[in-house]
Amino acid sequence: MFMGQYSHSLDEKGRLIIPSRFREELGREFVVAKGYDECLYAYNNEEWEKFAESVMELPETRKVNRDKRRYFLSTASQVEMDRQGRVLIPGYLRDAVGIDKDIVITGVGNKLEIWSRSKWDEVTGSDAMAKIAAELYDSGDDDSADER
């Protein structure tokens, strides 16, 4: 299971160093795709296959399902880590979520999230955390059905 948080910077070629703690579980080749909330998701191949299959099983007759396929599958890119643990994140993915130099990599269970430092700070700032805590205690449910 992926967990933890690491700060890194992209090098001049746009490569990201994957923290050593995540490398074995992620694998040398893995998938990076646009995620929710202006971040990227990185899946090992096994988890990506499970997710992609779940998307493909959705009835294509519903527009929301076609949109979900487009959103996730068209932005996905197979990438390969070099011997130093570096991976080139495609420019279109970096641009899509505003990643330029400073990034945060977070482990969130079955995948990694890759954030621009500024967006991560915005999403996890004290105001955001206070709102999450209030919603958890006020609603009594965890909204798990809303996320994948």
The pLDDT, as a whole number, for residue 137 is 80
What is the band of 107 on the pLDDT scale with cuts at 50, 70, 90?
very high
Quickly list DSSP for 92-125: HHHHHHT-SSEEEEEEEESSEEEEEHHHHHHHHS
111 is in which domain, residue-wise?
A: 2-116
Total domains in the fold of the chain: 1
> Does residue 145 sit within a domain?
no
> Does residue 133 sit within a domain?
no
Question: For the domain that residue 110 is a member of, what is the CATH number?
Answer: 3.40.1550.20
73-101 per-position pLDDT tens digit: 999 999 999 999 999 999 999 999 999 99
How far apart are the C-alpha atoms of 117 and 100, rounded to whole Å? 9
The pLDDT, as a whole number, for residue 130 is 72
Global pTM reads: 0.84
> Does residue 122 sit within a domain?
no
> Does residue 65 sit within a domain?
yes
> Does residue 130 sit within a domain?
no
6-59 per-position pLDDT tens digit: 999 999 999 999 999 999 999 999 999 999 999 999 999 999 999 999 999 999
Q: Residue with structure tokens 């929710």?
A: 36
How far apart are the C-alpha atoms of 46 and 48, rounded to whole Å? 5
> Does residue 134 sit within a domain?
no
> Does residue 98 sit within a domain?
yes
Residue of 32, 13, 20, 6 lying closest to 101 (CA atoms): 13
68 burial via Cβ count (<10 Å: 0-12, 13-18, 19+): middle
> Does residue 94 sit within a domain?
yes
